[in-house]
Structure 1
Amino acid sequence: MMKSLVLGLLLAGNLLGFSDEPKIVKVKTSAICEMCKARIEKNLGFSKGVKDANLDLNDKVVTVTYDPGKTSEEKILQTISKTGYDANLVPADPKGYDKLPSCCKKDSKMKHH
């Protein structure tokens, strides 16, 4: 009887998402500058389930901490793509890319600091 009660509580906890530990994913992007960093982090911050996003411009990798019960790695990649940037093997969404300032586009000839 006690075993089934404990098993039932564990199952209920899993279904309600109590046992979901935050996950971390690292995504290679096509970000170039501080404006890119701000744009990607802001859009990820508005995404349901994303707890933290930090883009390192030196290696162009954004580290995202998220709740796997509310979002997925695939959704995170899609958010970055829709923002106008490549996300690992997912290419930038053309509509999002077209909205980027010219200095933030991959083929920009501008110097970035």
Structure 2
Amino acid sequence: MAILANILVALVALEHVYILVLEMFLWTTPRGRKAFGLTQERAEMTKVMAANQGLYNGFLAAGLIWALLHPAPAFAFQLKLFFVGCVVVAGLYGGLTASRKIWVIQALPAAIALIAVFLAG
């Protein structure tokens, strides 16, 4: 179960690296605009805000990667719980305030990873 939990945490981390790239570097490109359903004008108006959001997603990814690489199993477990829990909360809030799609894209994978971490712990 520990291997599955680590795989799921890694997938959540990779998802947040991808979100970082979309928000920080691809926001105004056709790919970024399509991912977030934006017009060119709206993307240009919000690109600074999106870059800020991307940075926060990068911090989540960094924390998850730190948790996967930490050599002390007990502390790594706590890190995984904290950072995956943060992703769940962010996904729930995003689903309430921005788009329900975030519940499926962000909150659900993180919740599944969180359950797996608990079961492996």
- For normalisation by structure 2, the TM-score amounts to 0.29
Larger relative contact order (Cα-Cα within 8 Å, sequence gap ≥ 6): 2
Query: Normalising by the residue count of structure 1, what TM-score does the alignment of the two structures yield?
Result: 0.30
Larger radius of gyration: 1
Bigger fraction of residues in helix: 2
Q: Flag the structure with higher strand content.
A: 1
